[in-house]
């Protein structure tokens, strides 16, 4: 991965299994950065318009194999790196990513792709300033996901792997595999671990304390006339 120090901006990413609280935490961080007057940009996994139609079609018709699944996501990531991650970093802004290369390492690894090959595929990525990993036991994450969103998607549940006939059973087995991969990745890449079972406000406080030393000299956000006040504990 290329070092982030070559850019004036800062890159903060969140990782963890489904339901670990990534989006909750990065949304709060984003609002906090804006409230402090910093220019902050957001990039979400699998959001590039370049491959959206191909990915959606492949997923809908269950056409994607582990290799093609991996390649479409890498294409998405390459496009976003070029268009929405590097330019704001060059300009000196904070860039926040909800899932990053480690998601590919964990998921594609769980699908049986060669770890060295996946890492090589993503070697163009910018190494994050801080990579957060929200560690939660499988049961906690499953409870959060299955209580709030019972409709699981085919690939999300890892149904392509033939682990189980039932979608929920497959999802649980697949998430367990991903969790195992993540635990290796945390060591390998020195991710910053946050206890994802703590209350939302407590975690956010820790995230802000870790991020704060990197904020000096960041680009200021343009004044859009809106007032961004800091969020209170538990507020989303």
Ligand X SMILES: Nc1ncnc2c1ncn2[C@@H]1O[C@H](COP(=O)(O)OP(=O)(O)OP(=O)(O)O)[C@@H](O)[C@H]1O
Chain positions contacting ligand X, by CB under 6 A: 16, 18-24, 144-145, 148, 199-200, 203
Min separation Cβ 16 and ligand X, Å: 5
CB 141 within 8 A of CB 19: yes
Nearer to ligand X, 29 or 86 (CB): 29
CA–CA gap between residue 32 and residue 35 (Å, rounded)? 5
Q: Which of 23, 54, 75, 192 binds Mg ion (CB under 5 A)?
A: 23
CA–CA gap between residue 15 and residue 193 (Å, rounded)? 10
Which does residue 205 bind out of Mg ion, ligand X, none, counting CB within 5 to 8 angstroms by kind? none
Output the residue with the shortest Cβ distance to Mg ion.
23
Which does residue 225 bind out of Mg ion, ligand X, none, counting CB within 5 to 8 angstroms by kind? none
Q: Is 192 in the site for Mg ion (CB under 5 A)?
A: no
**Quick one: how many helices (H) and strands (E) in the chain?**
9, 5
Nearer to ligand X, 7 or 171 (CB): 171
- The helix (run of H) or strand (run of E) holding residue 213 is none
Nearer to Mg ion, 23 or 197 (CB): 23
Using a 10 angstrom Cβ sphere, with 0-12 exposed, 13-18 middle and 19 or more buried, the burial of residue 115 is: middle
Which does residue 16 bind out of ligand X, Mg ion, none, counting CB within 5 to 8 angstroms by kind? ligand X
Q: Is 24 in the site for Mg ion (CB under 5 A)?
A: no
Q: Is 206 in the site for Mg ion (CB under 5 A)?
A: no
Nearer to ligand X, 4 or 203 (CB): 203
What count of Cα atoms within 13 Å lies in the side-chain half-sphere of residue 104? 27
CA–CA gap between residue 48 and residue 134 (Å, rounded)? 25
CB 17 within 8 A of CB 135: no
Q: Is 47 in the site for Mg ion (CB under 5 A)?
A: no
Binding site for Mg ion (CB under 5 A): 23
């Amino acid at each position: 991965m290329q070092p982030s120090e070559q850019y004036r901006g800062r890159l903060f990413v969140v990782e963890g299994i489904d339901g670990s609280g990534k989006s909750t935490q990065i949304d709060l961080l984003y609002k906090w950065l804006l409230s402090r007057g910093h220019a902050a940009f957001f990039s979400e996994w699998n959001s590039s318009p370049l491959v959206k139609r191909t990915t959606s079609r492949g997923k809908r018709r269950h056409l994607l194999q582990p290799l093609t699944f991996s390649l479409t996501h890498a294409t998405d990531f390459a496009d976003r790196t070029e268009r929405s991650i590097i330019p704001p970093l060059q300009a000196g802004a904070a860039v926040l990513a909800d899932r990053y290369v480690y998601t590919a390492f964990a998921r594609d690894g769980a699908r049986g792709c060669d770890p060295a090959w996946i890492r090589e595929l993503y070697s163009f990525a910018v190494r994050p300033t801080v990579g957060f990993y929200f560690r939660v036991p499988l049961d906690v994450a499953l409870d959060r996901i299955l209580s709030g969103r019972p409709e699981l998607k085919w690939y999300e549940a890892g149904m392509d792997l033939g682990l189980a006939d039932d979608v929920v059973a497959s999802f649980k087995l697949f998430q367990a595999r991903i969790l195992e991969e993540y635990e290796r990745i945390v060591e390998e890449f020195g991710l910053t671990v946050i206890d994802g079972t703590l209350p939302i406000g407590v975690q956010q406080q820790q995230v802000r304390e870790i991020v704060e030393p990197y904020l000096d000299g960041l680009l200021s956000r343009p004044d859009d006339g809106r007032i961004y006040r800091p969020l209170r504990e538990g507020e989303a």
